[in-house]
Structure 1
Amino acid sequence: MTSRAAKSVLLLLAVAALCFAPLQLPAQSHAPLQIYFIDVEGGQSTLFVTPEHKSLLIDTGWPGNESRDANRIVAAAKDAGLQRIDYVLLTHNHVDHTGGVPQLVAKIPVGTFIDHGPNRETTDKTTVDVAAAYQKVLAEGHYGHLVPKVGDTLPIPGLQVKVVSSDGNLIAQPLPGAGQPNPFCAQSEQRPADQTENARSLGVVISFHKLRILDLGDLTWDKEMELMCPNNKVGHIDLLVVSHHGWDHSSSPALVYAITPRVAIMDNGATKGGSTSTLKIINKTPGLEDLWQLHYSEEGGPENNVDEVRIANVHGQDSGHYFKVAAYGNGGFDVFNSRTGATKKYPAK
């Protein structure tokens, strides 16, 4: 056999080996989505970290307090192994949601900000000042900036984040699988239209494979009724971030009962949110397995607060305890209470 023929035979053998070799596919990741419910004392700040370490922070808590809230957000980010936060979504321009932006960017790099557009509550000085401070950060930094419309999907790798409310507008068509008549509209009174930034909240449904999470910021009762009546446009939710810190200006039966959450988490403070009427509504939700509270509600009292094992911060000194959810693609999830060190599992159904 000539040298050229030998090389041809070897080449054919190599090609055959490649053709019949077992196909090596990358292993599917079973790592969870991590969700930190950070204690910002009755404000909101929730950090989502995907298995690929892409991150979304919803709201930044309060300003002041020697950067207390920014420090707690950064501590959560470091616990998750982050060096930066890719996206910061600001639901609306109130001080307990957007006020912490300047302190946050001084402590950790941020990629892109997402908001509903200009501040609409121009008669309240605190809100005007908070919005101006945020706009100054945008103007002076090198940040991306998105102003999505309802129905848009946000570009968060590893998550599907669908905008269902923004700047007073709501989705007109039901999300896939939703659209059924809502029998709980009749149990929810009609209320006057809210005129504050709360009604402008940028609300999202977050899907991680089979798991669905709802966060509507401080969207008010009147807007919930528009969203959910006469037909349920949202559908079933596994994990509900209780709107408006559990204040009684939100959380209508038309919303809470219709979405049938398995678990609800309330980012209330001791004396902010956690209204008695809201606690009663949520605890009567059909199919609800548990409510978790970031704080014991002084208003709710012992008859309406949940068991202390599901409260991050009870009576006494401010300690900044948080909840951490590990959410799995099959729809199951775990809730860890940093105060007790205990985890409760909610297996996939």
Structure 2
Amino acid sequence: MKKSTILIIGCLISFTLTAQDTGEPLPVWQEGEMEIHHIFTGGGESVFCIFPDGTTLLIDAGDIGPHIDPRQTKTSPNDSKQPGEWLARYITNRIDFKNNKKIDYAFLTHFHADHMGGVYENSEKTRNGGDYYLSGITEVYEHAPFSKIIDRDWPSYHYPNPNKTNAIDNYKKFLEWNNKNNKLTAENFIPGTNKQFVLVNSPEKYPGFEIRNIVSNGEVWTGKGEKTKQVFPKGEAVSENKRSCGIKISYGDFDYFNGGDLAGHLSFGMEAWKDIETPVGKALGIVEVCEANHHAWIDAMNENFLNSVKPQIIVMQINHITHFNLSTMNRMANKKLNPNLKHIIPTNIPEISRAYIGVDQLKKVTGDGGHVVIKVMPEGKQYFVCLLTTKDESYKIKSILGPYKCNKK
């Protein structure tokens, strides 16, 4: 396709979005676009991506279990289904254009329930014949299968110590059964490479697209070739959150970062090596959009990371009232640290958080919650942000932000 034709298509799509009345469904994906959906189910974190050639990637699929803690967000749009099934329904709606409805890649940033699911008293057994329960990632697969899954510790699940939780045992049974019976493949995440997540349909059309593996288990890309450096001292105990995997998705001039629950804001007296965000930020450089590390909790989004990455948009994935933290909010909103900032956008604002944060602090965020969709135009020179309703499955637009120009590389 000629460059002039691509530019014309981009202008037409841009007009459609800017002219789109709120209350209408999000326009369907078109080849050449990239979409990044931060999906709110109330049960944890999940991001679904459609790349320019139609390749698809699911990042995490959380399920924190029955709503028994008033500090947790409720299942959305309602509790008639579990979060994994709501995610699958969202995804299958969005990929209606595909003949093969399989998701190409699934990726777990780390092994916590709000990112992968667990095993609960209300968890049902799979109906496909395996001996495992449905929650989070396993429940998504039940309704919307994927071809490959990548995580930080396949196949042993022994690093740095044997992981013997019910959730991991269930996940291993899921992998084993579906590998044998449904040809599901699994891989260990490889820090530094740009060859693990690749376009599967028409890669030759989009030479400006890349996914770079930035970090996993404290091993951080140096920015040179595929070289990495281990940040954590050998033998030191490190939390699961800080072992999170992180990737940078690039399309033209547009860059996006998702690093699961990485953290780096240190309390007084903590060893400097426990700050994983600072070396990750240096490796990343400036991005247009960043999902807030560790849901913007008190231990994440430190000053060095924000000053290195300088995102225009920060998306907060919220499933607990503590994900609204005043000190973290002040860091993220500080334009001396990040002069590029345009919006901090939460997927949900719990009522208890509204009372705690207060009116003046709430002015630092944009919108009152929703599925947060980043829609990148062909060639990756500009993008929009769309907030969709979470009250039902209409996927209607609540508001449109942009278009925003990407930083030239």
TM-score (norm 2): 0.66
| Amino acid in the other structure paired with 1:105 | Y
The 3 A distance-change label for structure 1 pair 174 and 200 is same
The 3 A distance-change label for structure 1 pair 194 and 58 is farther
Instruction: Summarize the alignment of residues 176-325 of structure 1 with structure 2, pairs less than 5 Å apart.
Output: 195-221=238-264, 225-226=275-276, 228=278, 232-284=282-334, 285-296=338-349, 298=353, 299-306=356-363, 310-312=367-369, 321-325=370-374
8 Å CA contact 2:344–2:366 kept in 1: the answer is: no
In the TM superposition, residue 325 of structure 1 has moved relative to its aligned partner by 1.6
| Amino acid in the other structure paired with 1:295 | N
Q: Partner of 1:39 in structure 2? A: 40
8 Å CA contact 2:36–2:375 kept in 1: the answer is: yes
Mean Cα deviation higher: 25-34 or 83-92 = 25-34
8 Å CA contact 2:298–2:327 kept in 1: the answer is: yes
Distance 1:140 1:146 in 2: 15
Larger Rg, first or second structure (1 or 2): 1
Q: Percent identity?
A: 18
Q: Partner of 1:89 in structure 2? A: 107
Distance 2:280 2:383 in 1: 31
The 3 A distance-change label for structure 1 pair 80 and 217 is same
Q: Partner of 2:116 in structure 1? A: 98
8 Å CA contact 2:289–2:313 kept in 1: the answer is: yes
Q: Paired residue for 1:156, among 187, 195, 198? A: 198
In the TM superposition, residue 198 of structure 1 has moved relative to its aligned partner by 0.6
In the TM superposition, residue 72 of structure 1 has moved relative to its aligned partner by 2.5
In the TM superposition, residue 175 of structure 1 has moved relative to its aligned partner by 5.8
Distance 1:144 1:123 in 2: 22
The 3 A distance-change label for structure 1 pair 68 and 230 is closer
| Amino acid in the other structure paired with 2:242 | A
8 Å CA contact 2:281–2:306 kept in 1: the answer is: no
Give the number of the structure with larger relative contact order, counting CA–CA contacts within 8 Å between residues 6 or more apart. 2
| Amino acid in the other structure paired with 1:290 | H
8 Å CA contact 1:91–1:202 kept in 2: the answer is: yes
8 Å CA contact 1:114–1:145 kept in 2: the answer is: yes
Q: Partner of 1:73 in structure 2? A: 87
Q: Partner of 1:133 in structure 2? A: 170
In the TM superposition, residue 209 of structure 1 has moved relative to its aligned partner by 1.7
In the TM superposition, residue 278 of structure 1 has moved relative to its aligned partner by 1.1
The 3 A distance-change label for structure 1 pair 301 and 223 is farther
Instruction: Summarize the alignment of residues 17-28 of structure 1 with structure 2, pairs less than 5 Å apart.
Output: 28=6
Q: Deviations over 1:93-120 (max 9, x none)?
A: 0011011122111111111001011265
8 Å CA contact 1:42–1:267 kept in 2: the answer is: no
In the TM superposition, residue 224 of structure 1 has moved relative to its aligned partner by 7.9
In the TM superposition, residue 308 of structure 1 has moved relative to its aligned partner by 7.2
SS in 1 for 2:35: strand
Show structure 2 runs of 5+ residues with no match: 11-31, 67-79, 118-135, 204-208, 226-235, 265-271, 390-396
| Amino acid in the other structure paired with 1:205 | K
8 Å CA contact 2:215–2:247 kept in 1: the answer is: yes
Show structure 1 runs of 5+ residues with no match: 1-23, 177-192, 313-320
8 Å CA contact 1:218–1:243 kept in 2: the answer is: yes
The 3 A distance-change label for structure 1 pair 332 and 103 is same
Mean Cα deviation higher: 63-72 or 142-151 = 63-72
| Amino acid in the other structure paired with 2:105 | Y
The 3 A distance-change label for structure 1 pair 223 and 256 is farther
| Amino acid in the other structure paired with 1:152 | T
The 3 A distance-change label for structure 1 pair 146 and 124 is closer
Distance 2:212 2:312 in 1: 20
The number of residue pairs the alignment matches comes to 299
The 3 A distance-change label for structure 1 pair 199 and 301 is same
Q: Deviations over 1:231-277 (max 9, x none)?
A: 92221110011111111111111101221111111101351412221
In the TM superposition, residue 145 of structure 1 has moved relative to its aligned partner by 1.2
In the TM superposition, residue 294 of structure 1 has moved relative to its aligned partner by 0.8
Q: Deviations over 1:28-58 (max 9, x none)?
A: 4743201111013262100001232210010
